[in-house]
Amino acid sequence: MSCDKINAVVQFAVLGGYILAHATVHAIPKEVPIYRRAIYTFSASHFLNDMVTTGMVPALIVMYKEALHLSFTESSFIVLISYLTSSISQPLFGYFTDRKPRVWLFTLGVFLSIFSLALSGIAPSFGWLLLCIAISGLGSGAFHPEASRGAHLASGTHKGHAQAIFQVGGNAGQAFGPLMIPLLLIHTGLNGLLWLIPIAILSLPLTGQMLGWMNNQVKAAASKKKEMIGKNNIPGAIILIAVIILRSWCQLGVVVFLPFYMTHLSLAASETLNFVFVGAGALGTFIGGIWSDRIGLKRLMVFSMLFATPVALLLPHAKGFWAVIVLLVFGFCVLASFSVSVVYMQKLLPKNIALASGLSIGAGVGAGGIGSVFMGSVADFFGVATVFTILSFLPLLGALLAVLLPNDRKQIMSA
C-alpha cells in the first residue's frame, strides 16, 4: 500500500473518530447531579407542612368535637374545609406563580400552615376554628407549588430521584401527624397545639435560607424558557389527572375503610395495618422515583398500578402475618408512582412547572376527599366488602389509562 493510501486511511479514521466522539457527546446528555442541600431542605419543609395539614387535622377531629360540642356533620366539615382550601388553591397558586414567580410563598406557606393550626387549639368557637383550618389549608396550597418547583430546579438530570426525596418528606409527615395525638395532645389537650408555634418560627430560617438560591434559579429558568421547544400537552395532562384521581380514591379509600373492613380486629390493630399501608406507600414513593429514572416514568406507572390489583384481591383471603404482607405490597405498588406523576406532569406542562405541581398534588388530595364520600354511600347501600372490591380495581383502571400517556422517553412530549 502506497504512502498516499496510508495517509488517506489514517485521515479517514481520524475524521471518523472525531465525528463519532462528537456524535456521542451530543447523543448522551450531560449528567447534572442533584443539589442535595436544597432537595433535603424542601423534603424537611414538606414533612413539617404535611404533618400538620394532612396528618394532624383528620386525627384531631375527635378532640375538636369534644371541646366545642360539635355534631358529626360539623366535625366532618372541618376535614372538608382543610382539604378543599389546600387542594383547590394549589393549582391556582401554581397558575399565578408561573406567570410571576413568588418564591417567598414557599416560606410563608409552611409558616401559615403550622402557625394557624397551632392557633386552632385555642379557637373559642366553631367559626374561629374553621377560619384557622382554612388559613392553614391555604398556607399548604401556597407552599406546595413553589416547593415542587424548587425540587424540580434542584433535581439536575435525576428528576424522579429528587422528586421522590421531596415527596417522601410529605408522606412521612402524613404518617407522623396522627402520632402527635398519643405522644403529646392526649396529655395536654388542644392547648398543646400551641407547642407548634416554636416549630412554625423555626421553619422560617429553615426555608428562608433557600430563597436567594430559588430566586436565582427561577430567573435562569425563565431565560431558558424562551428557547424551549414544544408546547404544553393538555390531552396528556388530562389523562394523567384522571390516573391521579383513581389512585387517590384507592389510597384514601383503604385508609378510611380498612378499620371497618377488618371488623375481627381491634381498632388499634386495624390502625396499625393502616400505618403499614401508608408506610409501604412512602417506601414505594421513594424507590419508584429512583426506578423511574432508569426504566421511564410511563413504564413505572403502568406496571406498578397494574400489579396492585391482583395483590389487593388477595386481601379478603389473607389473615395475620399474610395480611401485613399483602398490605405492604399493595401500599408499595399503589404509591410507587406518586412522585413519578409529579415529574410526568411537569414534563407534560413544561411551560407551567408550578401549575403542574399544583395539579398533580392538589388534584389527588381534593379527589381523595370527594371519593371517600362516594365510597361511604356505596358502603351504606352495598357494604364495606363491595367498597374494597371497587378499590381493588381502581389501580387497574388507572394502569389502562396510563397506557394512553405519551412516551416520556421521547425528547418532545408536547402536542
Q: Is the dihedral of CA 143, 179, 209, 38 positive or negative?
A: negative
Regarding whether 256 and 198 lie in a shared domain, the answer is: no
On the CB side of 171, how many CA atoms lie within 13 Å of its CA?
26
pLDDT digits (tens, 9 = 90+) for 328-365: 999 899 888 888 888 899 889 888 877 887 788 777 66
Same structural domain for residues 75 and 184?
yes
Instruction: Tell me the average confidence (pLDDT) per consecutive run of 10 residues in the chain, 415 residues long.
Output: 44 42 45 85 93 82 83 75 82 81 90 95 92 93 88 83 85 80 78 92 93 86 60 89 89 75 69 77 85 88 92 82 88 88 87 80 70 74 84 92 84 47
Residue 209 corresponds to which cell in the numbers above? 435560607
Report d(CA 243, CA 380) in Å as an integer: 26
Residues 91, 360: Cα–Cα separation, whole Å: 9
CB 371 within 8 A of CB 285: no
pLDDT at 43: 92
Domain boundary among 202, 224, 246: 224
Buried b (16+ CB within 10 A) or exposed e, 61-72: bebbbeebebee
The model's pLDDT over 304-328, given as tens digits with 9 standing for 90+, comes to 999 998 988 888 777 778 888 988 9
Q: Which amino acid is at 383?
A: G
Amino acid identity of residue 33, one-letter, is P
| Of residues 171, 151, 146, the one with CA closest to residue 364 | 171
For residue 260, give the C-alpha cell.
Answer: 371497618
Domain boundary among 224, 246, 277: 224
Question: What's the pLDDT at 217?
Answer: 84
Same domain, 281 and 163: no
pLDDT attached to residue 230: 59
Distance separating alpha carbons of residues 25 and 249, to the nearest angstrom? 45
Kindly state the cell numbers that stand for 96: 399565578
For 313, phi then psi, to 5°, come to: -70, -15
Query: Letter for the amino acid at 50?
Result: D
One-letter amino acid at 140 equals S
Q: Are residues 394 and 255 in the same domain?
A: yes
CATH of the domain at 407: 1.20.1250.20
Query: pLDDT at position 268, please?
Result: 62
User: Rounded to the nearest 5°, which phi and psi values hold at 350?
Assistant: -65, -20
Domain of 232? 228-415
pTM: 0.72
Q: Would 3 be classed as within a structural domain? A: no
Cα–Cα dist 60/58, whole Å: 5
pLDDT at 26 (0 to 100): 40
Q: Within a domain: residue 181?
A: yes
Alpha-carbon distance of 178 to 169, in angstroms, equals 15
If one counts the domains in the chain, the total is 2
